[in-house]
Structures are given as structure tokens and as C-alpha cells.
């Protein structure tokens, strides 16, 4: 992607999904320094300055065409970031990417991620030309894999001890969703 192509702003009934900007850095740091958020997330930050690495990553994956991450905001407060979601490891030649998300704990249990992810998945399949989305979830992260399953992702298997985290090897559950499966799920509503 290049700066000449506009960043796709998406909307749900209750949320705006927009580009993550420099002013969001304190919210990104709050989220990615909170142990409740990062317990099953791949990264965490100890200082506001160190979270600049994540801000740079959000921008870089968009610019080089390997990902697209949105800031989640309520429509009433579009300047207040409450989480992020999107895709990375976008292999445009193969029409596939990996998806992920995180949300500030004060918004947990309010169906924010399912509402936002449905719009993002639709955008990925209908406008970005993706054929496959995958999600990697730690088996202990029950809330996330249940959410992924409710979105229609199918469990493909478990990657045994594929990551090293907190001094031990961990498994990851591998889920995928194909464009035709999402389309048929939408049509059956």
C-alpha cells in the first residue's frame, strides 16, 4: 500500500474503525501494558516510550501492504481508542492473512469485538480480495477462541509448543475462515 491509497475507515452500528494515529499512543500503551490484556497477547510494553514500537508497526504494515490494523472507537467518541483489530502476515499473492485483536478491559463483555470483526471480515473478503483468514489463539484463552468460533472460524488443529513465552513453550490453536464460509454465514442470517 502507499500513502496515495486512503486508509479504509469502517463503521458498525456502534463503533468506528479508523486509522491508528500518534494521539492514540497513550491508549495503546494502557492496553498493551495491562496484564489482563497481554496475558494471551504476543506483546506487552513497560513504558510509554517503548510502545512507539507498536505504533510504528501499525503504520508500517499498512504502508508495506502486509497488514491493516484499525483503532476501535465508539461513534460518540471517535478520538478515544478502546482497542485495535485487524490483519497481519497478509500474503497478497496467496490472498490470505492472520487476524487479531485486543480490547481495553472496561469494554469486555459488551460484544465490541464480534461487532467490529464481522465488519472487518466482510471488508477483507469483499474489498481486499482475501480468500482465507486465520487466527492463532492460546488454548487457555477460552474467551477468544469461543469468540473466533462464533465468528465462523474452524479449528484446523493445534500447533504444539510453537512459541516461547514467559520462559516456556506454548501451544497455539489454529483457526481459519474462508470467504465462501463467511458469505454463507451472512446469507443464513
Among positive and negative, which fits the CA dihedral 174, 179, 185, 189? positive
Fold that domain 10-187 belongs to in CATH: Aminopeptidase (3.40.630)
Cell 502486509: give the residue: 66
Distance separating alpha carbons of residues 29 and 27, to the nearest angstrom: 5
Per residue in 80-93, pLDDT (tens digit) is 999 999 999 999 99
pTM recorded for the entire structure: 0.92
Query: Is-contact 120 17, C-beta < 8 A?
Result: yes
Instruction: State the pLDDT at residue 188.
Output: 47
Beta-carbon count within 10 A of 170 CB: 16
**Residue pLDDT tens, the chain, 189 long:** 445 689 999 999 999 999 999 999 999 999 999 999 999 998 999 999 999 999 999 999 999 999 999 999 999 999 999 999 999 999 999 999 999 999 999 999 999 999 999 999 999 999 999 999 999 999 999 999 999 999 999 999 999 999 999 899 999 999 999 999 987 555 444
**φ, ψ at 7 (rounded to 5°):** -70, 130
Per-residue cell: 186 = 451472512
Q: What residues contact residue 180 under an 8 Å CB cut-off, 6+ apart?
A: none
Question: pLDDT, tens digit, for every residue of 53-105?
Answer: 999 999 999 999 999 999 999 999 999 999 999 999 999 999 999 999 999 99
Q: How many CA atoms lie within 13 A of 137 on its CB side?
A: 24
Q: Which residue has the cell 500474503?
A: 91
Q: Where are the beta strands (DSSP E) in 41-153?
A: 68-74, 77-91, 96-103, 132-137
Amino acid at each position: 500500500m502507499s500513502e496515495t491509497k486512503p486508509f479504509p475507515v469502517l463503521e458498525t452500528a456502534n463503533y468506528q474503525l479508523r486509522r491508528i494515529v500518534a494521539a492514540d499512543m497513550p491508549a495503546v500503551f494502557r492496553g498493551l501494558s495491562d496484564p489482563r490484556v497481554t496475558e494471551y497477547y504476543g506483546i506487552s510494553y513497560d513504558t510509554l516510550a517503548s510502545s512507539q514500537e507498536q505504533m510504528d508497526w501499525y503504520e508500517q504494515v499498512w504502508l508495506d501492504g502486509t497488514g491493516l490494523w484499525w483503532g476501535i472507537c465508539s461513534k460518540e467518541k471517535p478520538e478515544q481508542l478502546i482497542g485495535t483489530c485487524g490483519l497481519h502476515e497478509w500474503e497478497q499473492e496467496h490472498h490470505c492473512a492472520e487476524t487479531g485483536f485486543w480490547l481495553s478491559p472496561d469494554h469486555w463483555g459488551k460484544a465490541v469485538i464480534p461487532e467490529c470483526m464481522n465488519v472487518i471480515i466482510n471488508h477483507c473478503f469483499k474489498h481486499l480480495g482475501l480468500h482465507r483468514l486465520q487466527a492463532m489463539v492460546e488454548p487457555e484463552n477460552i474467551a477468544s477462541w469461543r469468540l473466533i468460533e462464533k465468528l465462523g472460524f474452524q479449528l484446523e488443529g493445534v500447533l504444539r509448543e510453537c512459541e516461547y513465552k514467559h520462559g516456556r513453550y506454548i501451544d497455539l490453536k489454529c483457526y481459519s475462515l474462508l470467504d465462501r464460509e463467511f458469505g454463507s454465514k451472512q446469507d443464513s442470517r
